[in-house]
Structure 1
Amino acid sequence: MFWTKDILAIVLLHLSAGAHLVAAQSQTFRWSMKSANEVSNPGYTLTQCNSATIVVNDTQISNNPLSVPPYYMMSYEIGGTTSVSQIGSNASNLSWTVNHAAGSNLVLQVIDSAGNSGGTASGTFDVVEGSFGNACLPTPNTDFLSISTNTTTLTTCEPLILDIYGGGPPYTVSIIPLNYTTVFNATLSADENQYLWVNRAEPGGSLIAVVSDSYRQYAKATQLIQLQGGTNFTCDNLQSQGSQQTVARAETHLTAFNKLWIADGVFVIAIIAYIGYIIVRG
């Protein structure tokens, strides 16, 4: 993904949090899609490389400050790529190009230039093929940053465990519930590659988790994780936290060059051994 200096600054602000601290990013404004067939409800579709019109409702929520343009769309592809796109400054006429391939399923969130959140849409959006080509699609990410998780269903107070592989630490974790006013962000310490998040999200919905590294590369997002359980969120004062998994990191922190070098080295050793065998026999 190509990052401009401005977009990088906004995303850094959006994701900022202390190590081991879950920063709950609350909703400060509302947004919706303007087109009749592209509203913030589940079951609606978006067309690959087409433009979707976004409207920000800048009516003040509680005592939160008004939103600060320009605005950005954060589109989280379930099991796939996360994209950040500037969508304009006119709150009543913003435009987002659907830069995800047909077949993708998206969770959408709008943020402003101060890193404030407009919340996530109430459902996911399916991307379908149209007549707009594929020129808008980003180059596939070939870096070795990935995450794995321990579950697809999460009960209240149950920990979600994310193992992070490759890329460049420190890592930033975002837990994103659908149709929710709060997104949970945490930045790990430089030596940590696992994150345990204690579930205090409302049951009955779902969430995804995404991870970015110090180069602002995104790992593929998790699949949807279903939420269940009660509404007692004290959880015996359990706290979310990062940790270090030394073996996992040592095995997976190889770059493409490292892996190629190792493979070539094994091949060369095999050739030398074979030549030695021929000489001894001869």
Structure 2
Amino acid sequence: MRPSAVPFSPLSFLFISLLFSSTVNAQATPDTNLFQWKFANNFLDTGLASCQSLDITVEPVNVTNNTHGIPPFYMLAWEIGGTPRTVLLGLNETSLSWTVDHPVGTSLMLNVVDSQGNGGGIGPQLFTVLPGQTTACVINGNNTDFTVKANVTSSINTCQPWGLRIQGGTPPYNVSFAQLNSPVVTNVTIPSPLDAFTFINRATPQQLLLAAVSDVTGRYAFGTPTVMPTGSEDTTCAGLNSSPGNATLLNGEEAAQAKAKRQRAATLAGVLTPLLLLLFGGAAFWGYRYYTKQQKMRLELKPDPMVLTEPKYVEEANPSRGSQPESQVMSILDVHTSPSGSNSLLNPFLTEAERNLTVSPVDASDGHSVTSSSRPNSSSSRRGFSNFPVTSVRRPNKKAIEAGFATSASSPSSQNPSPVATGSTSSIPPRRNPPIVERSQTAKPPTRPSSRVPSRSASLGAPVALPEGAPEFIIQHQDAGRFVRELPPPYKERRSRPTPDVPYSP
């Protein structure tokens, strides 16, 4: 007949704990792996139905040595985040049974131990309690008056400390460190009145590690924290040892360390922030200076645009309202004698002698006037040439004589000048009072009588010359270009040189 599983009494568990626990303030030797256990009937499922009864088989680890555990046998079920529980399996290793009495949804790490505290090993995976046909056997042991907590619940590196804090219960305390896929369990006793323990991680990496705490009465603390070891497989950790301590002092030290860490971070931030601001500000200022310097260099290297000065020109005098629109009158005033000479625009191409002449509008009292050619829409023509009279006036000096022109001042052509050129084949009829040119009062010689301005028709090539000694005029036609240049002597230069023995051309 199979014995029923009965709860393990606290006194019996305390007796067993004292057998394999060390009373020194250091890490204890793990238990001895003499046997191994498994569920009967090749039960391999990780899901356990609530209130389900499972048969368990215990076998020697080494068949040759034929080692066995010492009955009775017990099931240690560590409930992750809850309260572990110890249940009697039986006295005969061939007829052991366990009933799942943990709440639905909990995760369990299972191990079978004998009366000497030797364990059969922990499987490679956790078991999860699933809803069964009934939950009448479920025992809720989540007492909050006796708890255990850890400072890290995610992962720790090899040789990194793992701190445990215990509240409630009756010291001294016993701590069991169990790990998946491990054949042994490490047990440590914390002497009274200490209520904390710092564990140096020497566990196998990537296998879940669990810490279960029980007091002197054998009652387990609620919480059962877990952590995932990571890092190197070298667990020597020279100079580092696990040790118990006082939770209040350790908490104060941790708070002071955290405060110092925050202060260091604040100090570092206070020092680095201005430095970074200065660094970035200096970099920005340097970049701005470099940019402006490059721009200045580009502007200096860039050639200046060519600025052409506007050519000088002589504007036409506004015709009087009484004058006819087909003709305009040019006025060349002497700037030395005329009160309005400062406001007059002089032809920049006239000679000094020509500037001494004054051409005034038609005067009915003396009958002396000069008429320029009539140009329709003269304002729309080129501005630089709209101010030159188109009447052909030649110098009546030796140049005219050398060119074969007549020099007679009493010629009929001088008394009746031909119409002025208009830039076309047509000519303007003569006015009633033919235009004349008179000398300015300041011109040289002052006593020489004035003579009429000769002119020639645009259709005729025979110019009329003035008397010898009269000032010369060079007329620039409208289609002759922008600039007026003085014509050189046709056959003879004015420079003083010996007269060649060559007769002049007629």
Q: Which TM-score band (shorter chain)?
A: 0.7 to 0.9
Q: 2:163 aligns with which of 156, 161, 177?
A: 161
Q: 1:59 to 1:189 in 2, by over 3 A?
A: closer
Q: Which amino acid aligns with 1:22?
A: Q
Distance 1:115 1:99 in 2: 22
Name structure 2 gaps, 5 residues minimum: 1-6, 252-506
Distance 2:70 2:202 in 1: 29
Percent of residue pairs identical: 35
Q: Which amino acid aligns with 1:10?
A: I
| Count of residues in Structure 1 that have an aligned counterpart in Structure 2 | 243
* Structure 2 equivalent of residue 150 of structure 1: 151
Q: 1:117 to 1:61 in 2, by over 3 A?
A: farther
* Structure 2 equivalent of residue 3 of structure 1: 9
Within a 5 Å distance, the mapping from 1:221-240 to structure 2 comes to 221-240=223-242
Task: Give the superposition deviation at 1:169.
Answer: 1.1
Distance 1:19 1:213 in 2: 16
Distance 1:185 1:8 in 2: 13
Q: Which amino acid aligns with 1:149?
A: A
CA contact (8 A) 2:50 2:130 kept: yes
CA contact (8 A) 1:176 1:208 kept: yes
Distance 2:203 2:82 in 1: 23
Q: 1:248 to 1:155 in 2, by over 3 A?
A: closer
Q: Deviations over 1:131-175 (max 9, x none)?
A: 1332x2235353511111111202111111101111111111111
Distance 1:57 1:196 in 2: 36
Q: Deviations over 1:181-205 (max 9, x none)?
A: 2211111110211101111111121
Name structure 1 gaps, 5 residues minimum: 250-282
Distance 1:64 1:87 in 2: 21
Root mean square deviation, CA, Å? 2.4
Within a 5 Å distance, the mapping from 1:266-277 to structure 2 comes to none
Distance 1:141 1:68 in 2: 31
* Structure 1 equivalent of residue 22 of structure 2: 17
Distance 2:10 2:165 in 1: 29
SS of the residue 2:19 aligns to = helix
Q: Which amino acid aligns with 2:220?
A: Y
Q: 1:90 to 1:2 in 2, by over 3 A?
A: closer
Distance 2:163 2:39 in 1: 34
Task: Give the superposition deviation at 1:2.
Answer: 6.7
Q: Which amino acid aligns with 2:19?
A: L
SS of the residue 1:131 aligns to = coil
Q: Going by fraction, where is strand more abundant, 1 or 2?
A: 1
* Structure 1 equivalent of residue 123 of structure 2: 121
Structure showing greater relative contact order (alpha-carbon pairs closer than 8 Å, 6 or more residues apart): 1
SS of the residue 1:68 aligns to = coil
Out of 237-246 and 54-63, give the one that drifted further. Answer: 54-63
Task: Give the superposition deviation at 1:62.
Answer: 9.2
Distance 2:161 2:244 in 1: 12
Distance 1:217 1:170 in 2: 12
User: Who wins on radius of gyration, i.e. which is larger?
Assistant: 2
Q: 1:99 to 1:240 in 2, by over 3 A?
A: same
Within a 5 Å distance, the mapping from 1:200-239 to structure 2 comes to 200-239=202-241
CA contact (8 A) 1:82 1:221 kept: no
Within a 5 Å distance, the mapping from 1:17-166 to structure 2 comes to 17-23=22-28, 24-36=30-42, 38-39=43-44, 44-60=46-62, 65-134=67-136, 136-142=137-143, 144-151=145-152, 152-166=154-168
Task: Give the superposition deviation at 1:226.
Answer: 0.9
Task: Give the superposition deviation at 1:240.
Answer: 0.6
SS of the residue 2:172 aligns to = coil
